[in-house]
């Protein structure tokens, strides 16, 4: 979405939203100072593909993109490079960025490799196939390249589904060693109804999920609560992607619609962001590339920044293997507002519980698989844990917009 003038830069798990330890930044100088590397996500290698489960694979290893969309193309190159440094030093592993500075963009890719950040590379020209091909030829040998971002807002009417597929086929012919990606807005019901065709047109796709303070014509298909909208629409797109075994990446909202037609526009709170990102992962998303990295986000929205870092730490330190290797079971999406996901991994279950209501606490009852229904403990210490295990069921009250995550065992 090109709107702002800022910088973009086994076991079963039960998840309920809340945050763990984070690497907080308190001043402008800290953005170029490397934090503790323990929670950094590995992002090495030079080839990418999609496996039979619809998961990204980088040099033979399953990979969960977790970072930002993107480093904004309008800004001076030095600012874009500084944003990359901040993203990498905070331990994020992925960025979507466009090659607008053809002489210097290779330097950004080299720095991304040093910071262990993979890049979905977009072209400066969205319409010229020869220009896109030249971008691919120029950078396809760079180890930091995760793949090729074919079009931003692909479903906004500027491009047909057949032309997006043509673009993907053209790029794949030039570089069969990297995946293609397209970003979909999904702002309106009509666009959502065409999601299956758009998803089929490239190797992978993404959804721009910005339901807080949007323009008045934004479609709320599930009652108007932005947290419900985030989970339910994400789930719809993920299930469509699963039908064709393609990974789906969600751009979670770290964005303020102000100046772009928003009504009551504001940034999400940290708790709202946590709910949306956890909910998107619980829905089955294969990556998160939040929109957008800006100076204002980093310098002035500390709660939001620190929460995203904390969620990243949760995923990297506690959920990485269950998400990538476990068997996922999801509750019915049309419940009373409480949804849950269970990852069966090795001899345990990871259970995540989400209250998608922004206004009401809800009662929750989560039946557990018989293989891991006798013991339970909170997995993410920073999150609330109000559930009790009784008769192979986790039950209790979950507060509005909360997330809770548990580990259960035989």
pLDDT at 236: 98
Is residue 8 a part of any domain in this protein? no
**CATH at residue 307:** 3.20.20.80
The answer on 370 and 239 residing in a single domain is no
pLDDT at 99: 84
Instruction: Tell me the chain's radius of gyration from C-alpha atoms.
Output: 20
The Cα 127–Cα 361 span in angstroms is: 49
Is residue 4 a part of any domain in this protein? no
Is residue 14 a part of any domain in this protein? no
The answer on 399 and 310 residing in a single domain is no
Is residue 17 a part of any domain in this protein? no
pTM of the full structure: 0.89
The Cα 145–Cα 81 span in angstroms is: 16
Is residue 7 a part of any domain in this protein? no
Indicate the number of domains in the chain. 2
The answer on 304 and 274 residing in a single domain is yes
pLDDT at 1: 53
Could you tell me the mean pLDDT of each successive run of 10 residues in the chain, 410 residues long? 38 36 34 34 69 97 94 75 93 92 85 96 81 92 96 92 96 97 96 97 98 96 96 98 98 94 95 98 98 90 98 98 98 90 96 98 95 94 97 97 96
Is residue 312 a part of any domain in this protein? yes
pLDDT at 14: 40
pLDDT at 13: 39
Among 310, 329, 348, the domain boundary falls at 329
The answer on 159 and 131 residing in a single domain is yes
Torsion sign, CA atoms 407, 43, 232, 330: negative
List the domain range (segments joined by +) for residue 389.
Answer: 337-409
pLDDT at 78: 85
Is residue 1 a part of any domain in this protein? no
Among 283, 311, 329, the domain boundary falls at 329
């Amino acid at each position: 979405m090109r709107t702002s003038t800022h910088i973009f830069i086994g076991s079963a798990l039960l998840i309920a939203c809340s945050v763990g330890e984070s690497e907080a930044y308190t001043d402008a100088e800290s953005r170029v100072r490397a934090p503790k590397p323990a929670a950094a996500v590995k992002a090495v290698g030079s080839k990418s593909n999609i496996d039979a489960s619809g998961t990204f694979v980088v040099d033979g290893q399953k990979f969960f993109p977790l970072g930002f969309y993107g480093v904004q193309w309008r800004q001076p190159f030095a600012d874009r490079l500084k944003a990359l440094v901040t993203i990498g030093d905070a331990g994020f592993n992925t960025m979507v960025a466009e090659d607008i500075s053809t002489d210097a963009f290779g330097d950004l890719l080299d720095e991304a490799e040093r910071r262990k950040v993979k890049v979905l590379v977009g072209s400066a020209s969205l319409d010229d196939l020869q220009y896109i091909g030249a971008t691919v030829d120029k950078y396809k040998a760079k180890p930091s390249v995760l793949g090729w971002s074919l079009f931003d807002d692909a479903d906004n009417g500027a491009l047909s589904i057949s032309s997006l597929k043509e673009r993907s086929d053209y790029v794949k012919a030039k570089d069969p060693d990297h995946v293609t990606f397209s970003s979909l807005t999904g702002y309106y019901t009509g666009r959502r109804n065409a999601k299956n065709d758009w998803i089929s047109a490239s190797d992978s796709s993404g959804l721009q999920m910005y339901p807080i303070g949007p323009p008045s014509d934004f479609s709320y298909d599930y009652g108007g609560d932005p947290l419900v909208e985030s989970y339910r629409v994400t789930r719809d797109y993920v299930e469509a992607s699963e039908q064709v075994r393609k990974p789906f990446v969600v751009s979670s909202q770290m964005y303020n619609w102000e100046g772009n037609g928003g009504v009551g526009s504001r940034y999400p709170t940290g708790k709202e962001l946590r709910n949306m990102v956890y909910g998107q992962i619980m829905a089955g998303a294969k990556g998160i590339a939040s929109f957008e990295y800006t100076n204002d986000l980093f310098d002035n929205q500390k709660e939001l920044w620190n929460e995203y870092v904390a969620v990243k730490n949760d995923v990297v330190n506690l959920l990485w293997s269950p998400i990538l290797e476990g068997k996922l079971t999801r509750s019915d999406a049309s419940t009373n507002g409480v949804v849950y996901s269970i990852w069966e991994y090795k001899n345990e279950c990871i259970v995540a519980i989400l209250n998608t209501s922004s206004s009401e606490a809800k009662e929750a009852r989560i039946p557990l698989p018989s293989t891991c229904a006798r013991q339970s403990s909170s997995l993410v210490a920073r999150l609330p844990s109000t559930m009790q295990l009784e008769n192979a069921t986790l039950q209790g009250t979950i507060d509005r917009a909360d997330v809770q995550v548990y580990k259960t065992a035989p």
